[in-house]
Amino acid sequence: MYDLIIIGMGISGISASIYAKRAGMNVLLLEGSAPGGTINKINKIENYPGISSISGPDLAYNLFDEVNKLGIEYKLERITDVILEEIKKVKTPNNVYEAKYLLIASGRHPKMLGLKNEEKFLGRGISTCALCDGALYKNSDVAVIGGGSSALSEALYLANIVNKVYLIHRRDEFRGEDTLIQDVKQKGNIELILNNEVTGLKIENDVLTGITLKDQKELNVKGIFIYVGFIPNTDFLINSGVNLEDGYILVDEHHETNIKGVYASGDVTKKEIYQIINAASEGAEAVVYMTNKTN
Ligand SMILES: Cc1cc2nc3c(=O)[nH]c(=O)nc-3n(C[C@H](O)[C@H](O)[C@H](O)COP(=O)(O)OP(=O)(O)OC[C@H]3O[C@@H](n4cnc5c(N)ncnc54)[C@H](O)[C@@H]3O)c2cc1C
């Protein structure tokens, strides 16, 4: 029986675990993929105070190193279900773990475009991670789809590796940070295609060769990088009774859900700003609020 189980080893879950360990809680971190979570996919992070520039994988490594140095217990197991009564039960394919408190910090994953054959070519021409797959398209032409900060920053990263980036956005203005918009506009090998959408994939001999746009134009690109939004990772909560909106967890000002003793933090929650800085602080705050209640 743990005091606290944390679902997700992204920056939010790890920050929470550091605060919990330091508060003397018996805490277990559970992670279904790689420690560090989404930051593993970020090329450069330049908006975290005190660290002027760091690669996402380096920050993920530092976080994981801290977990190990503090002796925080973790297990690499995917949660499939939870039962949220007085004691919180967390199920993985082979185990059931129990705790007094649960913190859900399971983040979100990229949305796809919904095109025919899209899933088939994921990893074979279609990607949601420029840092992971960009080098495969060295000196080739690629398309980046999306209009937010993620799409802009990943287009800039790819522009330094590939021959040309087509940045395709369905509206006439970008939603991202001003500095990124200016940088994208000044980059010689990024061509902006606004008010347009990808409607199909061009495939020849089972190889992705390009895309078709809404205006019938065709672009020959070897890689397509998709940044059009996210889906919260809450499938394991379907029968839990936790209140969700559009799949995101609803929490109060103390990061507690509608179920007593069940908290949520970071990108999996319904909020305005999805950034590293608040994902980290929310994890820490949730633990402080739950320990204040206990004491
Ligand atoms: C391309 C891109 C660039 C970005 N750039 C920046 C930036 O420059 N600056 C910035 O501040 N923010 C940036 N962000 C946003 C930032 O990455 C996120 O806000 C932050 O990392 C979210 O952290 P988190 O801990 O809430 O979630 P995550 O990092 O997503 O962690 C959630 C963890 O939970 C795990 N998990 C999910 N479901 C389960 C399950 N069923 N069982 C077990 N484990 C599970 C996942 O595997 C994951 O490791 C960027 C995001 C993207 C996509």
pLDDT digits (tens, 9 = 90+) for 15-52: 999 999 999 999 999 999 999 999 998 888 888 999 99
Pocket test for ligand 1, best of 52, 106, 131 (most atoms within 8 A of CB): 106
* Annotated catalytic residue, options 81, 129, 183, 252: 129
Q: Do domains 2-109+230-294 and 112-226 have the same CATH topology?
A: yes
Two tokens at 125? 């021409």
Q: Are 291 and 278 in contact, with CB atoms under 8 Å apart?
A: no
- 105 CA from centroid of ligand 1 (Å): 9
Return the CA Rg of the chain.
21
* Annotated catalytic residue, options 3, 58, 132, 183: 132
- 37 CA from centroid of ligand 1 (Å): 5
Separation between Cα atoms, residue 193 and residue 170, nearest integer Å = 8
Percent of the chain with pLDDT over 90: 93
Pocket test for ligand 1, best of 14, 38, 281 (most atoms within 8 A of CB): 38
- 12 CA from centroid of ligand 1 (Å): 8
| Least-confidence region, from 39-43, 228-232, 290-294 | 290-294
* Annotated catalytic residue, options 133, 141, 178, 235: 133
pLDDT digits (tens, 9 = 90+) for 48-71: 999 999 999 999 999 999 999 999
Indicate which residue's Cα is closest to atom 19 of ligand 1: 275
Two tokens at 277? 């800085």
Q: Where are the domains of the chain?
A: 2-109+230-294, 112-226
> Annotated catalytic, 65?
no
pLDDT at 131: 84
pLDDT at 293: 74
Q: Are 36 and 57 in contact, with CB atoms under 8 Å apart?
A: yes
pLDDT at 294: 62
> Annotated catalytic, 172?
no
Separation between Cα atoms, residue 160 and residue 265, nearest integer Å = 34
Tokens 């992971």 identify what position? 132
Reported confidence tier of residue 295, pLDDT bands at 50, 70, 90: low
pLDDT at 292: 87
Check pLDDT > 80 for residue 75: yes
Check pLDDT > 70 for residue 246: yes
The residue type of 210 is G
Considering Cα of 138, then 144, then 149, then 150, what sign does the dihedral take? negative
- 209 CA from centroid of ligand 1 (Å): 31
- 38 CA from centroid of ligand 1 (Å): 3
Check pLDDT > 80 for residue 2: yes
Average pLDDT of the chain, as a whole number? 95
Give the closest residue to 151 by CA, choosing from 242, 200, 224.
224
Q: Is the CB of 11 under 6 A from ligand 1?
A: yes
Percent of the chain with pLDDT over 70: 99
Two tokens at 236? 């394991």
95 bridge partner residues: none
Q: Is the CB of 27 under 6 A from ligand 1?
A: no
Q: Is the CB of 154 under 6 A from ligand 1?
A: yes
pLDDT at 106: 98
Query: How many helical (H) and strand (E) elements, i.e. helices and strands, does the chain have?
Result: 6, 19
Give the closest residue to 128 by CA, choosing from 138, 140, 119, 116.
119
pLDDT at 43: 82
CATH code matching the domain that covers 112-226, chosen among 3.10.20.600, 3.40.50.300, 3.50.50.60, 3.90.1170.10: 3.50.50.60
Indicate which residue's Cα is closest to atom 13 of ligand 1: 275
Reported confidence tier of residue 288, pLDDT bands at 50, 70, 90: very high
Mean pLDDT of the 160-183 span:
95
- 204 CA from centroid of ligand 1 (Å): 35
Mean pLDDT of the 188-209 span:
96
The CATH H-level superfamily of 2-109+230-294 is: FAD/NAD(P)-binding domain (3.50.50.60)
Q: Is the CB of 105 under 6 A from ligand 1?
A: yes
